[in-house]
Amino acid sequence: MTTSSLTRRQFLKTTTVAGAAVTLAKFTPRLFAAGAQPASPAPTPSWVDKPMRWAQLTLVEDDPGKFDPAFWLDYFKRTKSDAVCLSGGGCVAYYPTQILFHHRSQWLGDRDVLGELVAGCRKLGMVVIARTDPHATYDDVQAAHPDWIAITADGQPRRHWASPEMWVTCGLGPYNFEFMTEVKKEIMSRYKVDGIFINRWDGSGMCYCQHCRKNFKDSSGFDLPRTNNPQDPARRAYILWRQQRLFDLWQLWDQAVRQINPDSCVIPNTGGGATSSLDMKKIGELAPTLMADRQARSGLMAPWAIGKNAKEYRAALGMKPIVGIFSIGLEEPERWKDSVQNGAEIQLWVADLVANGMRPWFTKFGGVLHDERWLEPVENTYRRLAGWEKYLRNERPLARVAVIYSQQTAWFVGNKVEDNINGWYQALIEARIPFELVHDRLLDAAHISQFKTLILPNLAALSDAQCDQLRAFVNNGGSVIATYETSLCDEWGVRRKDFGLADLFGVSWKGRTEGPMQNSYLRLEHDSARGHPLLKGLENALRIVNGVWRLEVEPRAQFAQVPLTLIPSYPDLPMEKVYPRVEKTDTAEVFLRESGKGRVVYFPWDIDRTFWEVLSVDHFKLLRNAVEWATNEAPPVSVSGVGVLDVTVWRQKNSMTVHLVNLTNPMIMKGPVRELIPVSEQQVRLQLPVGARVSRVHLLAANTKPQFTQRGQELHVIVPSILDHEVVAVDLV
Ligand SMILES: [Zn+2]
């Protein structure tokens, strides 16, 4: 069985295993259907690889007649923006639409704001796409077409949560499939734009309207689910059915606009990481380009979160152009859509976005400015990036380490997958190890053979076929690091009796889980595992804190050395009672083995999740050391010096680049950054391609030619200082 062939039969089987006596007689999710071939997407429009700097002006209804189009056209020019997204229609039409129920801006009069802006942007030579947003509508629509409106679980038409005079539309019914198709066709016919960007197109949560009830029942045999439990058969079917419906909608819209302008496409605002609801593998097949919509930091969030978004999309889209949307305003639950961010925060966010291979897209809501402080930072950033353009046209990343993310684990197991991924992400950033993300349904050789080490952060749901792919990876000399419940469930989140990868780990599950553990420790076995690379930097530590959850496991193979053993929990109060009842056990808490040229590390506890929770330096060292031991080769780039840097390394046609983003800041875990604080000298050691000669080394931000030496295939460069973002650009001949 391949990963793309989760058949109806297996669906039935695992449903029965889950204890549900329901027949999924009619349900065949095409998305995962047997023998499903990758979607054969429509041709890539000729323009998609051209733009490097996007602008977006999202008009508000009263902008027509109030805002100054000439100002915006001038700003697009000053920022050297080469593509733009302009408000078209859906919720509000900014042109004289002829479509019944397509609401013209009440301030439009006889103007054609969209037309004026399209013409102005075309004069500047920009790629132009139009924005539509279908998620809300008005009383006249609700009265004429009540079945276009979303229905709540208790059967009521749904008012809009923020604009209570409006109605929320159903994303999966005729409002989108029929009405919005006509809107897109009209916009494309009138303006021949290069594409149509679709915001908030995928519904606004569960809808219990007549169409959703009937279509789901006809397709799956179930009534719409009333629980979020992913092991409920109706919920499980819904998770897949909704996706199929949205992929059908996407393709319907795409075909409709291409019939009018064959060199165009629709671009749904969709995608993300493990917790996103639409399958990234399928998205990667359908989309010729895509926008990652993580506009700014919110709450507790590291500045690398935007770079992570880039890696999530690249895992599915490969080197198709990925555009990173950033907001000039705050991105918090209270919204404040007319706010303006601190310039330093914008600058750092964009730096990490670009360093991770995305092209920037600024988004501004409202054509009338309430606060002009963002204009200069964005202009300066864009002009700088325009000067670097040739070095930003990457052909491939050169990272040798990758972290796998799993939507099926998030959908069907529902554990907190992001905490484990974030733990690894933070550790790899601190270790300055360049890395990529990989999608768990893309574990074929074409997607993973460039990596030496794959990291499986508590990847609970893995099919037998996916386990086979990981075994093959190790047999071919790759290394694997896994934590906690990795492979303990099948692809539907149903528990196995033992790990699917028990043979690879050399370990079996004893059927018991311990946790949450209070006051538990790990003993570092310096006597029996003296000098083991896993304990590098911990030579003086006899014991360190344990994680919070552990699986009871037993080895099924011989392990040469056991560097970590368990010190079981003991009372943490009263203080008089806080002493270990057991000083030493022979319970191993890490399993390291060599398998041919590959190496395998398995931690039977939640080291990555705990690291994200408490950020223990000791756990960081274990994670870093595990990657270095498993990878067992000279890294593509190493950077020594003080500070926290996001290090990425890329190949372009005639050059290589090392991006160094300086995240060293008191506001590293919670924005906004007050000021950028430079770090001192960094020594960069870069592996050159075999046979390549260096013709020039250039520091793009400093605009200097640094000292460098070449020893064999290794290039040494000194970077004297980094404010926010430095790029070591190496021209090759
Ligand atoms: Zn509906």
Strands (E) located in 221-284: 265-268
Are 85 and 125 contacting, i.e. CB atoms less than 8 angstroms apart? no
Residue 390 phi, psi (nearest 5):
-65, -30
Q: What is the pLDDT, as a whole number, of residue 596?
A: 83
Identify residues whose C-beta is under 5 A from ligand 1, the ion: 170, 173, 207, 209, 212
Residue 215 CA to ligand 1 center (angstroms) comes to 9
Percent of the chain whose predicted confidence (pLDDT) is above 70: 95
Cα–Cα distance measured from residue 458 to residue 440, given in angstroms and rounded to the nearest whole number: 12
**Span from the CA of 202 to the centroid of ligand 1 (angstroms):** 11
Dump pLDDT digits (tens) for 559-611.
989 999 999 999 999 999 999 999 999 999 999 999 888 999 999 999 999 99
Report d(CA 337, CA 330) in Å as an integer. Answer: 7
Record the pTM: 0.95
The Cα 250–Cα 244 span in angstroms is: 10
Amino acid, single-letter form, for residue 521: Y
Spatial distance between the Cα atoms of 107 and 105, rounded to a whole number of angstroms: 5
- Lowest-pLDDT choice from 19-33, 149-163, 199-213, 632-646: 19-33
Pick the closest to residue 254 from 203, 211, 279, 289 (CA basis): 289
3-state SS string over 606-621? CHHHHHHHHCCHHHHH
pLDDT band at 37; cut points 50, 70, 90:
low
685, pLDDT greater than 80: yes
Q: Is 152 exposed, middle or buried (0-12, 13-18, 19+ CB in 10 A)?
A: middle
Q: Using 50, 70 and 90 to split pLDDT, how confident is the model at 465?
A: very high
**DSSP assignment letter at 287:** -
Residue-wise pLDDT tens digits, 229-265: 999 999 999 999 999 999 999 999 999 999 999 999 9
* Strand 265-268 versus strand 195-198 pairing type: parallel
User: pLDDT tens digits for 149-178?
Assistant: 999 999 999 999 999 999 999 999 999 999
Q: What's the pLDDT band for 432 if we cut at 50, 70, 90? A: very high
- The kind and range of the H/E element at 217 are helix 210-220
Residue 26: pLDDT above 90?
no
Residue 301 has pLDDT above 60, yes or no: yes
pLDDT at residue 597, rounded to an integer: 87
Distance, CA of 485 to CA of 320 (rounded, Å): 33
How high is the pLDDT of residue 497? 97
pLDDT at 5: 37
- Looking at residue 6, its pLDDT comes to 38
pLDDT of residue 416: 79
- Find out whether 201 and 271 touch, Cβ atoms under 8 Å: no
Distance CA 63, CA 483 (A): 53
The answer to whether the Cα torsion of 400, 447, 606, 565 is positive or negative is: negative
Query: How much distance in Å is there from the Cα of 235 to the middle of ligand 1?
Result: 16
- CA dist., res. 457 & res. 312, Å (int): 15
Which amino acid makes up residue 20? A
Reply yes or no on whether the pLDDT at 10 is more than 80.
no
Q: How many residues does the chain have?
A: 733
| Inter-residue long-range contacts of 411-416, CB under 8 Å, 24+ positions, other chains counted | 411/230, 411/239, 411/277, 411/493, 412/230, 412/231, 412/236, 412/239, 412/461, 412/489, 412/491, 412/492, 412/493, 413/230, 413/460, 413/461, 413/489, 413/493, 414/230, 414/493, 415/458, 415/460, 415/485, 416/609
CB 442 within 8 A of CB 315: yes
Q: How far is the CA of 445 from the centre of ligand 1 (A)?
A: 40
- Among 483, 707, 704, smallest CA distance to 603 is for 483
Structure tokens belonging to residue 454: 């794959």
Ligand 1 centroid from CA 171, angstroms: 6
644: pLDDT confidence band, cut at 50, 70 and 90? very high
- Confidence check: pLDDT of 640 > 50: yes
Ligand 1 mean position, distance from CA 243 (Å): 14
For the four alpha carbons of 447, 449, 451 and 454, in that order, the dihedral sign comes to: positive
Cα(178) to centroid of ligand 1, in Å? 13
The pLDDT value given to residue 414: 84
Q: d(Cα 386, Cα 360) in Å, to the nearest integer? A: 11
**29 pLDDT higher than 90:** no
Query: Does pLDDT of 723 surpass 90?
Result: yes
Query: Ligand 1 centroid to 172 CA: how many Å?
Result: 6
Rama region for 129: left / alpha / beta (φ>0; ψ in -120 to 50; rest)? beta
Question: Ligand 1: distance of its center to the CA of 205 in Å?
Answer: 10
d(CA 203, ligand 1 centre) in Å: 8
209 Cα: distance to centroid of ligand 1 (angstroms):
4
**What number is the average pLDDT over the span 444-467?**
98
The per-residue pLDDT of the chain, averaged, comes to 94
pLDDT at 486: 98
Amino acid 22: pLDDT: 36
pLDDT at res. 709: 96
From the DSSP assignment, how many helices (H) and strands (E) are in the chain? 20, 30
Q: What is the DSSP letter of 589?
A: S
- Compute the distance from residue 151 Cα to the ligand 1 centre, in Å: 7
CA distance 83 to 125: 8
Tell me the sheet residues that pair with 326. 362
Return the structure tokens found at 684. Answer: 């960069």
pLDDT attached to residue 33: 57
The answer to whether residue 415 scores a pLDDT higher than 80 is no
Ligand 1 centre distance from Cα of residue 179 (Å) = 14
Which pLDDT belongs to residue 7? Answer: 39
User: Which DSSP symbol is given to 248?
Assistant: H
Residue 665 has pLDDT above 90, yes or no: yes
Q: What is the pLDDT of residue 2?
A: 35
Residue pointed to by tokens 């439009």: 108
| Helix runs in 297-388, H state only | 305-317, 343-355, 375-387
Token pair of 710 as six digits: 């070449």
CA distances (Å), origin 277, targets 4, 126, 434: 17, 33, 27
Identify the pLDDT of residue 16: 38
pLDDT at residue 8 tops 60: no
Query: What's the CA gap between 135 and 162, in Å, rounded?
Result: 12
Angle at 354 between CA 350 and CA 357, to 5 degrees: 145
Measured between alpha carbons, how far is 636 from 686 in angstroms, rounded to an integer? 6
pLDDT of residue 144: 98
| Token pair in block for residue 325 | 């949307």
Residue 401 pLDDT > 90, yes or no?
Answer: yes
pLDDT for the residue numbered 30: 57
Beta bridge partners of 661: 646, 725
CA of 494 to the centre of ligand 1 (A): 30
Distance CA 327, CA 337 (A): 9
Q: What type of residue is 396?
A: R
Confidence of residue 42 (pLDDT cuts 50, 70, 90): confident
Positive or negative: CA dihedral 451, 453, 457, 461: positive
Q: Centre a 10 Å sphere on the Cβ of residue 394 and count the other Cβ atoms it contains.
A: 19
> What digits encode the pLDDT tens for the residues 212-227?
999 999 999 999 999 9
Beta strand 83-90 with 543-545: parallel, antiparallel or unpaired?
Answer: unpaired
> Which residues lie closer than 8 Å to 107 by C-beta, 6 or more apart?
61, 62, 63, 64, 65, 66
Q: Using an 8 Å Cβ cutoff, are 542 and 637 in contact?
A: no
